[in-house]
């Protein structure tokens, strides 16, 4: 028997300040969570919460550029463990882009490619109650800068470290390239 449970409800988003806190972040965002849509992205979730101006209007794109340089955490709860199943996979249709996934504080894996799906075995991480799921996105800018620091400078036509990423179409506008979003996912259970 197979059961597929879409994970499109009950998500929240928070600014992850473990690495740094952007100066431009609205004070109302610090230490709080906002409802999140999955599939979705940080920009639209912040806009829906009234914390971000529409980046496509006027010169707002430059005012919201800090969003792409920040780290973000999406959180939800996985259902409790069901003993009728001997396998449980957490499946992401896309994670944009550099992310760490954990369930109940247990790291499941890291990602660096938004153009593929990811599967994680979570049978051992599920508990008798809801298991907290967190997906923490590292800024693609920060990741590219870390790779540039490790590899050294390379010829680059752009002022940003785009050439140091393997993230899809890296020459597109920052608003799009900043990513930090979930393309959707599901919990798939298999049993006898």
In this structure, are residues 72 and 15 in contact, taking their beta carbons and an 8 Å threshold? Answer: yes
The b-or-e profile of 163-186 (16+ CB within 10 A means b, else e) is bbbebbebeeebeebbbbbbebbb
Could you tell me the fold of the domain covering 2-190? Jelly Rolls (2.60.120)
Distance between CA atoms of residues 96 and 94, nearest Å: 6
- Among residues 177, 171, 1, 165, the alpha carbon closest in space to that of 82 is found at 1
Q: Is the pLDDT of residue 177 over 60?
A: no
Delimit the domains of the chain by residue range. 2-190
What is this structure's pTM?
A: 0.85
Mean pLDDT value of segment 20-30: 90
Please give the pLDDT value at position 168: 38
Mean pLDDT value of segment 85-89: 88
Q: Is the pLDDT of residue 18 over 90?
A: yes
Q: How confident is the model at residue 188 (pLDDT cuts 50, 70, 90)?
A: low
């Amino acid at each position: 028997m197979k059961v597929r449970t879409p994970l499109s409800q009950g998500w929240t988003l928070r600014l992850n300040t473990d690495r740094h806190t952007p100066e431009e972040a609205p004070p109302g965002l610090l230490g709080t969570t906002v409802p999140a849509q999955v599939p979705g992205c940080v920009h639209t979730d912040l806009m829906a919460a009234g914390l971000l101006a529409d980046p496509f209007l006027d010169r707002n794109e430059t005012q919201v550029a800090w969003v792409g340089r920040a780290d973000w955490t999406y959180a939800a709860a996985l259902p409790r463990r069901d003993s009728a199943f001997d396998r449980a996979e957490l499946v992401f249709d896309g994670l944009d882009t550099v992310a760490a996934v954990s369930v109940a504080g247990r790291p499941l894996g890291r990602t660096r490619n938004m153009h593929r799906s990811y599967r994680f075995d979570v049978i051992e991480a599920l508990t008798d109650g809801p298991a907290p799921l967190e997906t923490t996105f590292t800024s693609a800018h920060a990741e590219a800068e870390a790779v540039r620091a490790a590899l050294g400078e390379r010829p680059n036509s752009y002022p940003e470290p785009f050439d140091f990423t393997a993230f899809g179409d890296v020459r597109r506008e920052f608003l799009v390239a900043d990513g930090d979003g979930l393309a959707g996912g599901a919990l798939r259970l298999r049993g006898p």
